Amino acid sequence: MTKEELIELKKNLKDLNEEEKKELDYYLKDLATGKIQGPKVGYPTIDRPWLKLVDLDVLYKPRTKKTIYQEIYDNNRDNLNGIAIEFYGAKIKYKKLFEEIDDLARALVANGVKKGDMVTISCAGIPETTYAFYALSKIGACANSMSPFFDVAGMTERINDCDSKILLVMDQFYPSVKEKVKESTIEKIVVVPTLNSSPLRFVKPSKVELDQNAVLYNQFIKAGKVIANVKTAEYEPDMPVAMVYSSGSTGSSKAIVLSNDSFQNSIHSYEACNMDLSRDLKDYQVIPPWFSTGASTAMHLPLANGATVFMDPRFDRKVFVENVIKYKINVVVATTSLYTGFLEPELVKDADLSHFTNPFQGGEHLGKEMKEAIEKVFHDHGSPSALKIGYGQCECGAGIATQTDDFYRSDGSVGIPIPGVVCGIFDEDRNELPYNERGEIYVNTKSGMIGYYNKPLETDKFFYTDPFGTKWSCTGDIGSIDEEGNLFVYGRAEDYSMVNGEKVYNFDVEEVIAADEDIQDVDIMPVNGNGDTLVTHIVFNDMYKQLITNNPKMLYEKLSDIEQKVYDEFRNENYVPTVFKIRDEFPHALFGKRDLAGLKKETEGFIKYKEYSKDREKVREL
């Protein structure tokens, strides 16, 4: 298909009404499955080959528009004795969950919170965080869910920007956070003891000393007893319900405004994945709620379906593995750094993992060798599942693409677009590219953000409305889509180095190095203060670590081999890293992804080494 023919086709599609678009999706599904025969145009956003794996009847099922509070309440009226939350020995039933939400809603109203207000929450995954999200939804206010690890300027600026007057903070974060908000608009700090909802609160009571403007959570709740009831806010289109924050791993973290529609469209899309969403499942919320995955996929999705959410605010791989085993977790979305705990035999021992049916990974790079090693542990211990890969962004309401048991799997893919999501690959001139060509990933989704809070220029830059009226989220990630509809994500568009004036994508070099069977993980960065080479951070597997400990000479043989492989792949010495750092593991930001900013600041422990063949000429430098 020529560019002109594609434009003409899009012009025709532009004028379709909703019912006609629905009919088109059914036709495309029949075409993709071979039920009918017909031509394909060769562009993912038109052919949508992933529709063959989508239950369109479920996707297009008529639904009443609701707030997130209305959703969990309506769906669990007949499930009041079901367990909503497990937390340090407590099993909180849905009846108790709704009582706690009502109590907090009354306390918030008694303290002047009204529809449209922003209340700041600086808590990890504890029950009170859940109560706060839904209590604010009930009264039509918005949860400003902030990491406690922002610096003073960052926290003050973001709180003042939304004129937040009340802050809910976990007791362990209170000493540092109270200093950060002294120059903010916060008037009252509600300190939540971490174990407030656990029987362990009697064994390990909170000992935090409160300032004059602070009050303990249970005292705050008592203030609401004077209010008989709180009217439930009705659904309104684009009503903000939560602000979460981008990871900030590669730049300044921005406030992302999500509406009820963002949450609701996201959770309903998973139903059309043929994914198990039954009430007897136990989901582990390990991603913090200041990321959209933690708030939407790990909290709202299971609660809206009447399942149990297991909570433990500790972001630690040892704790993670122990919890999965001990509490018989069924479903979890976690990062690579947590899953690597399964590679430690002393943690897994002879555990039974037959209950571990839906482990999902996202947010960090996961190499083929490590993925296979983790999956081997799963299978050796009875888990019937592969480690399913997902891809998303806070700006897109968490999920963009995922693998499930039914979805076609191919090596390196992050799955197919979640039902209702359309993905395309575009070049720098915003022209859509055909299958298997590499460019920026654009996403059309009803689960995405309203925008960045009070940042219209950044919001306009993130969104692009094409000449045919389709609104795209510009992810800033480089990827491709194959003929089966599988999405491949290679890395950030900004993840490149300028080496001797040439643009080198770091992730291209990483892929070649990661194929080495002795390497567990790798990350490429520019050398600090030097633009003429790349630096490679390498984590070897345990077996090779032992080998080079006993025979250091093997390390230099390996580095020479790596350089040779990279040169052979690209035939360009600008792609060949000559500075290395061998490490036991990668540093991670608290409750988050790999600490790329920290890696860039490192200046010690590097090996400068160069030895590879180039056009039969041997170059050595040590």
Q: Average pLDDT of the chain?
A: 91
Are 594 and 586 spatial neighbours (Cβ–Cβ below 8 Å)?
Answer: yes
pLDDT at residue 15, as a whole number: 86
Amino acid type, 472: W
DSSP 467: T
The single residue listed with the structure tokens 């992730």 is 507
pLDDT at residue 190, as a whole number: 98
**E-assigned strands of 341-409?**
358-361, 388-393, 398-402
Q: Residue 561: name the closest of 576, 544, 550, 546 by CA.
A: 576
pLDDT at residue 535, as a whole number: 86
DSSP 36: S
Fold of the domain spanning 499-621? GMP Synthetase; Chain A, domain 3 (3.30.300)
Q: What is the mean pLDDT of residues 197-209?
A: 87
Q: What is the mean pLDDT of residues 424-441?
A: 96
Residue 618 has pLDDT above 60, yes or no: no
Higher pLDDT, 187 or 365: 187
Residue 245 has pLDDT above 90, yes or no: no
Q: What is the mean pLDDT of residues 580-607?
A: 78
pLDDT digits 0-9 by tens, 126-158: 999 999 999 999 999 999 999 999 989 989 999
pLDDT at residue 614, as a whole number: 53
Distance CA(488)–CA(85), nearest Å, equals 35
Higher pLDDT, 445 or 405: 445
pLDDT digits 0-9 by tens, 13-63: 888 888 999 999 999 999 999 899 888 899 999 999 999 999 999 999 999
Predicted confidence band of residue 232 (pLDDT cuts 50, 70, 90): very high
- On the 0-12 / 13-18 / 19+ scale of CB atoms within 10 A, 552 is exposed
Residue 529 has pLDDT above 70, yes or no: no
Q: What is the mean pLDDT of residues 217-236?
A: 93
pLDDT at residue 617, as a whole number: 44
Are 303 and 84 spatial neighbours (Cβ–Cβ below 8 Å)?
Answer: yes
Distance CA(471)–CA(268), nearest Å, equals 21
Q: Residue 426: name the closest of 493, 364, 504, 507 by CA.
A: 493
Lowest mean pLDDT among 72-76, 189-193, 201-205, 560-564: 201-205
pLDDT at residue 590, as a whole number: 55
Predicted confidence band of residue 249 (pLDDT cuts 50, 70, 90): very low
- On the 0-12 / 13-18 / 19+ scale of CB atoms within 10 A, 551 is exposed
Q: DSSP labels for 207-270?
A: -PPP-TTEEEHHHHHHGGGG----PPPPP-TT-EEEEEE---SSS---EEEEEHHHHHHHHHHH
Predicted confidence band of residue 622 (pLDDT cuts 50, 70, 90): very low
Spell out the CATH class of 93-234: alpha beta
Per-residue H/E/C for 404-416? CCCCCCCCCCCCE
Q: Residue 449: name the closest of 593, 236, 248, 292 by CA.
A: 292
Q: Which long-range contacts (CB under 8 A, 24 or more apart) does 459-464 make?
A: 462/395, 464/430
Predicted confidence band of residue 589 (pLDDT cuts 50, 70, 90): low
Amino acid type, 470: T
pLDDT at residue 252, as a whole number: 61
Distance CA(349)–CA(68), nearest Å, equals 41
Q: Which residues contact 321 (CB under 8 A, 6 or more apart)?
A: 341, 342, 344, 347, 348
CB atoms within 10 A of CB 393: 26
Domain assignments of the chain as residue spans, ordered by start: 93-234, 499-621
Percent of the chain with pLDDT over 70: 95
pLDDT at residue 12, as a whole number: 86
Predicted confidence band of residue 438 (pLDDT cuts 50, 70, 90): very high
Q: Which residues contact 189 (CB under 8 A, 6 or more apart)?
A: 166, 167, 169, 174, 177, 178, 181, 211, 213, 214, 215
Q: Residue 224: name the closest of 101, 106, 131 by CA.
A: 106
Distance CA(76)–CA(382), nearest Å, equals 32
167-190 residues labelled b (16+ CB within 10 A) or e (exposed): bbbbbbbbeebbebbeebbbeebb
The single residue listed with the structure tokens 């996961």 is 366
Higher pLDDT, 586 or 137: 137
Distance CA(28)–CA(23), nearest Å, equals 9
Are 368 and 386 spatial neighbours (Cβ–Cβ below 8 Å)?
Answer: no
Strand partners, 505: 496
Predicted confidence band of residue 571 (pLDDT cuts 50, 70, 90): very high
Q: Residue 576: name the closest of 502, 521, 520, 517 by CA.
A: 502
Residue 357 has pLDDT above 80, yes or no: yes
Q: Which residues contact 212 (CB under 8 A, 6 or more apart)?
A: none
Q: What is the mean pLDDT of residues 582-603?
A: 75
Strand partners, 12: none
**E-assigned strands of 11-141?**
83-87, 90-93, 118-122
Are 239 and 259 spatial neighbours (Cβ–Cβ below 8 Å)?
Answer: yes
Rounded alpha-carbon distances, angstroms, from residue 365 to 57, 334, 594: 34, 12, 9
Q: Tell me, yes or no, if the two domains 93-234 and 499-621 fold the same way.
A: no
Q: What is the mean pLDDT of residues 450-466?
A: 95
Strand partners, 540: 519
Residue 449 has pLDDT above 50, yes or no: yes
DSSP 331: E
Q: Which residues contact 558 (CB under 8 A, 6 or more apart)?
A: 516, 518, 544, 548
Lowest mean pLDDT among 272-281, 465-474, 586-595: 586-595
Amino acid type, 409: R
DSSP 594: B
Percent of the chain with pLDDT over 90: 73
Distance CA(260)–CA(234), nearest Å, equals 11
Are 102 and 230 spatial neighbours (Cβ–Cβ below 8 Å)?
Answer: yes
pLDDT digits 0-9 by tens, 299-326: 999 999 999 999 999 989 999 999 999 9
Q: DSSP labels for 411-445?
A: TT---EEPTT-EEEEE-TTSPBP-TT--EEEEEE-
pLDDT at residue 586, as a whole number: 84
